[in-house]
């Protein structure tokens, strides 16, 4: 964490064998300098923008209200000077739409993730339709271009999607669904390292393969001429092992206790910024700046050579 300011690091009670204090320090995502540093990385590696995720299930807990609201305020302040796009994404998982949900900040783009999922506890389509209409038409200065995070089978309403006919109207009311209908495109498919929050699964049960797992997804999307945008999950979600920002290379850089998935989990020596580099290369491929290739255009050996040359 040598890129963070000391004032933005906070000591924990978790033992850290190679830290001077013997305890691990962690950054706070509510600190302006930390948010700015993350947007600086997005700019450095060519990531176009970010959606700030807000989970409705714990949004009313006071510590989350303060922290999340602070983050929502700081993100646009950091996004603008670095030329990055910014939007808010709400996840209604675990919370009924009977709760009062209102946008607090005027943003051009808003995403609500979890719409129509069987696994999400939102069944009342009347209330959901009212919420969508509010954001699209009745919200005054809070009107937004509304993106829906929907199941993979939303068109057929099977498998992971709720099947009732009412959900067809919900899906079709979303701005991105209308865009898909007008242009005949698949809008913003998800690319990820994979989700490891399932505590019953063995550590690294779906290996990252040194980035090849994610690159296959990038190649698949870039090869489809109908796809112009990719949603990468996620920038800093460390607890689900999907973070693409700078992370620990090996176990010499993590606390003594707990389970930590480091970059060398697949037996490869990778730099801290490996997934930021891959995302930057995926962006180039998607934008047509480089040829679409199933083979990753960079490798750790090449990066080591570059580092050696730079240090000589």
pLDDT tens per residue, range 232-259: 988 998 888 889 999 999 999 999 888 8
Please report whether residue 247 resides in a domain. Answer: yes
Mean local confidence (pLDDT), 103-125: 75
Give me the pLDDT at residue 46, please: 94
For the chain, the average pLDDT equals: 82
Is 73 a member of any domain? Answer: no
Tell whether 54 is covered by a domain. Answer: no
- Is the pLDDT at 107 greater than 50? The verdict is no
CB contact at 8 A, 182 and 141:
no
133 found inside a domain:
no
Total count of domains within the chain: 1
Q: Which residues touch 96 (CB under 8 Å, ≥6 apart)? A: 121, 122, 124
Name the pLDDT band for 62 (thresholds 50, 70, 90).
low
| Of the candidates 117, 59, 63, 118, the residue with the CA atom closest to the CA atom of residue 88 | 59
Residue 14 host element (H or E): strand 9-15
Residue 19: the pLDDT is 83
Evaluate whether residue 274 is within a structural domain. Answer: yes
The answer on pLDDT for 193 being more than 70 is no
Q: Categorize the per-residue pLDDT at 293 as very low, low, confident or very high, splitting at 50, 70 and 90.
A: very high
Query: 3-state DSSP call for residue 277?
Result: helix
Indicate whether 209 belongs to any domain: yes
Residue 2 domain flag: no
The residue that leads in pLDDT, 73 or 291, is 291
Q: Output the pTM of the full model.
A: 0.76
Higher pLDDT, 215 or 52: 215
Least confident of 9-23, 134-148, 190-204: 190-204
Beta strands (DSSP E) in 94-195 are: 109-113, 145-149, 190-192
Residue 251: inside a domain: yes
Distances (CA, A) of 252 to 1, 16, 210, 304: 13, 9, 19, 19
Please give the share of the chain, as a percent, with pLDDT higher than 70. Answer: 79
294 is in which domain, residue-wise? Answer: 189-312
For residue 199, the model assigns a pLDDT of: 62
- Cβ–Cβ under 8 Å, residues 91 and 54: yes
| Dihedral sign for Cα atoms in the order 147, 161, 240, 131 | positive
The answer on pLDDT for 147 being more than 50 is yes
Mean pLDDT over 108-129 rounds to 87
11: helix, strand or coil? strand
pLDDT interval class at 104 (50, 70, 90): very low
């Amino acid at each position: 964490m040598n890129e963070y300011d000391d004032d933005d690091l906070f000591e924990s009670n978790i033992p850290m064998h190679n830290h001077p204090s013997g305890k691990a320090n962690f950054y706070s995502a509510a600190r302006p300098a930390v948010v700015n540093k993350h947007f600086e990385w997005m700019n450095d590696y060519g990531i176009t923008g970010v959606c700030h995720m807000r989970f409705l299930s714990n949004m009313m807990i006071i510590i989350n209200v303060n922290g999340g609201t602070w983050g929502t305020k700081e993100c646009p302040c950091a996004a603008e000077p670095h030329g990055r796009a910014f939007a808010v994404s709400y996840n209604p998982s675990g919370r009924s739409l009977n709760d009062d949900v209102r946008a607090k900040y005027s943003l051009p783009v808003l995403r609500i993730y979890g719409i129509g999922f069987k696994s999400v506890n939102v069944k009342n389509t009347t209330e959901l339709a009212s919420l969508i209409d509010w954001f699209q038409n009745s919200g005054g200065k809070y009107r937004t271009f509304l993106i829906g995070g929907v199941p993979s089978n939303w068109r057929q309403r099977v498998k992971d999607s709720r099947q009732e006919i009412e959900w067809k109207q919900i899906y079709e009311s979303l701005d991105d669904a209308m865009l898909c209908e007008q242009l005949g495109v698949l809008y913003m498919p998800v690319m990820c390292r994979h989700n490891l929050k399932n505590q019953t699964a063995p550590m690294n049960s779906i290996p990252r393969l040194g980035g090849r797992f994610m690159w296959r997804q990038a190649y698949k999307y870039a090869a489809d001429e109908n796809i112009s945008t990719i949603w990468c999950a996620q920038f800093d979600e460390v607890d689900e092992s999907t973070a693409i920002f700078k992370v620990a290379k090996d176990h010499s850089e993590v606390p003594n206790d707990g389970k930590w998935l480091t970059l060398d989990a697949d037996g490869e020596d990778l730099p801290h910024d490996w997934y930021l580099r891959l995302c930057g290369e995926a962006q180039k491929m998607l934008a047509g700046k480089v040829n679409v290739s199933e083979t990753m255009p960079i490798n750790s050996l090449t990066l080591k050579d570059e580092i050696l040359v730079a240090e000589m």
